[in-house]
């Protein structure tokens, strides 16, 4: 069946719509998709936010490329009734998108017809339903790939009732608004299959989280690396003394992401080639990403915030802090989630300067403004973004940082795989303290 697009073109959004993404995890906390979030950035009279948003949705898939925003994962896109009836959904690639649609009223034959046509062309449809409301028509449920419920604010009894009723109607029930580890745990117990929200970057302060000995060693090394009086030789000794950290660092630095002119065989060579600031940055990332119980998306978020803070620091320089300090603040903003402890307690172990502490704990100063704007952007609070960083095109910087963070995290996975393979090969072998890796 051929369906023609509406013949009136979308006007350009001209930067009036912000783009962000939010991961959707499965029961094993693997990312299985990203919802694309589109929000208007202007309140000027006559601004048609719905049409501008529609323009950006199509531009994301046909212009900048959806892979830049979501990588290889499917993009979940919430569509308005107007977007559906104007048939613009057929411009989106069926193999790259999940169409999120508010479950139509029983008498809305026009929307039902469009959904049937989309299903015939193998588009995946996710029905967004009010969790306190009735089940959608069974004929619509049969068309749907999944059902999504916003569970934020539900009482325990309401959550259990919604899980029972909607779970009986679908084999793929997604909980949105899951912003705490406690709510994630409850939703998993109730049989939800997918989970969307900020739970992964929120500390689980209820759980007693004691890092394994290897992680404690790396975090101790990390604290030492931030000592202001550390010399080049002392810096090298701190890293080489921690066998696991030094080996993983060298595997990472030799990945394709860095594209270095030659193989780096030792920590000293890495320091000579990249400098102390760069090596500190990547050693920090490796130390923070060592907990296998944490979702990979937490590392992506740390990288994204770090890079975005750094880009903001370049656009809005601070008199007393360089862009590298901005990066550190962004990276450390998820330390509480990594360690499952209040951030002020975690930072006590790290010799950060007072400006960085104020930025992380109080959102004060230029670095605090950058971090506050980033967190607000993630949550769609664009007024707070404008208040903190007036006139800055955050969407442009966000897309740039996102691309970089995904690539860096991919390289980290590559380095971890290489380190794991090397460790297996060396099992049972005796040797001196490891300070290099073979070429």
- Cα–Cα distance between 297 and 301 in angstroms, integer? 6
Give 288-325 pLDDT, tens digit per residue: 776 677 888 998 999 999 999 999 999 998 988 888 88
Helices 276-288, 213-225: axis angle to 10 degrees equals 150
Give 217-233 pLDDT, tens digit per residue: 566 667 777 776 778 88
* Most confident residue range from 64-78, 130-144, 242-256: 130-144
DSSP 8-state symbol, 132? T
The more confidently predicted of residues 41 and 242 is 242
Q: Which of 36-40, 67-71, 322-326, 363-367 has the lowest mean pLDDT?
A: 36-40
Tell me how many domains the chain contains. 2
pLDDT of residue 355: 94
- Residue-range definition of the domain harbouring residue 225: 213-425
| CATH code of 122's domain | 3.20.20.450
Residue 246 predicted with pLDDT over 60: yes
Same domain, 383 and 272: yes
Same domain, 217 and 181: no
The more confidently predicted of residues 390 and 42 is 390
The more confidently predicted of residues 372 and 217 is 372
Q: What is the mean pLDDT of the chain?
A: 83
Nearest to 56 by CA among 100, 94, 97, 17: 17
Same domain, 189 and 223: no
Same domain, 407 and 286: yes
| pTM score, whole prediction | 0.83
| Range 218-255 burial, b when 16+ CB lie within 10 A, else e | bbbbbbbbbeeebeeeebbebbbebebbbbbbbbbbbb
Same domain, 235 and 100: no
- Compute CA distances 160 → 132, 157, 197, 214, whole Å: 11, 5, 19, 40
The reply to whether 7 falls in a domain is no
Rounded to 5 degrees, φ, ψ at 352 are -80, 155
Query: What band does 259 get if pLDDT is binned at 50, 70 and 90?
Result: confident
Task: Specify the DSSP element, H or E, that contains 27.
Answer: none
The reply to whether 337 falls in a domain is yes
Query: In the predicted model, what is the mean pLDDT of residues 173-179?
Result: 97
Q: Which of 157-161, 169-173, 262-266 has the lowest mean pLDDT?
A: 262-266
């Amino acid at each position: 069946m051929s369906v023609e697009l509406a013949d009136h073109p979308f006007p350009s959004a001209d930067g009036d719509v912000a783009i962000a993404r939010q991961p959707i995890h499965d029961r094993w906390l693997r990312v299985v998709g990203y919802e694309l979030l589109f929000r208007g950035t202007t309140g000027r009279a006559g601004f048609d936010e719905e049409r501008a948003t529609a323009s950006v949705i199509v531009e994301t898939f046909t212009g900048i490329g959806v892979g830049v925003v979501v990588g290889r994962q499917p993009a979940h896109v919430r569509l308005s009734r107007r977007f559906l009836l104007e048939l613009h959904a057929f411009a989106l690639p069926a193999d790259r998108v999940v169409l999120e649609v508010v479950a139509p009223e029983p008498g809305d034959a026009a929307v039902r017809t469009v959904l049937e046509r989309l299903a015939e062309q193998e588009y995946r449809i996710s029905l967004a339903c009010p969790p306190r409301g009735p089940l959608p028509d069974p004929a619509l449920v049969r068309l749907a790939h999944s059902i999504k419920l916003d569970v934020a604010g539900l009482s325990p009894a309401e959550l259990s009732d919604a899980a029972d009723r909607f779970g009986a109607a679908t084999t793929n029930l997604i909980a949105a608004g899951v912003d705490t580890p406690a709510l994630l745990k409850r939703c998993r117990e109730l049989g939800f299959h997918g989970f969307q929200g900020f739970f992964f970057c929120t500390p689980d302060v209820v759980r007693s989280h004691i890092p394994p000995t290897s992680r404690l060693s790396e975090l101790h090394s990390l604290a030492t690396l931030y000592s202001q009086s550390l010399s080049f030789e002392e810096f090298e000794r701190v890293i080489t003394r921690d066998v696991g950290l030094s080996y993983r660092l060298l595997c990472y630095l030799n990945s394709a992401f860095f594209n270095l002119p030659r193989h780096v065989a030792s920590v000293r060579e890495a320091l000579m080639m990249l400098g102390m600031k760069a090596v500190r940055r990547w050693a920090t990332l490796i130390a923070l990403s060592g907990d296998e119980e944490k979702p990979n998306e937490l590392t992506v978020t740390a990288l994204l915030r770090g890079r975005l803070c750094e880009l903001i620091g370049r656009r809005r320089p601070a008199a007393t802090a360089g862009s590298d300090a901005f990066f550190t603040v962004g990276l450390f903003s998820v330390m509480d989630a990594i360690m499952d402890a209040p951030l002020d307690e975690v930072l006590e172990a790290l010799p950060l300067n007072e400006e960085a502490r104020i930025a992380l704990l109080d959102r004060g100063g230029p670095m605090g403004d950058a971090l506050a704007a980033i967190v607000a952007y993630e949550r769609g609070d664009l007024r707070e973004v404008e208040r903190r960083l007036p006139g800055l095109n955050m969407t442009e910087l966000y897309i740039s940082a996102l691309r970089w963070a995904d690539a860096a995290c991919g390289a980290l996975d590559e380095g971890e795989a290489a380190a794991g393979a090397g460790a297996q090969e060396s099992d049972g072998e005796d040797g001196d303290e490891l300070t290099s890796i073979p070429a």
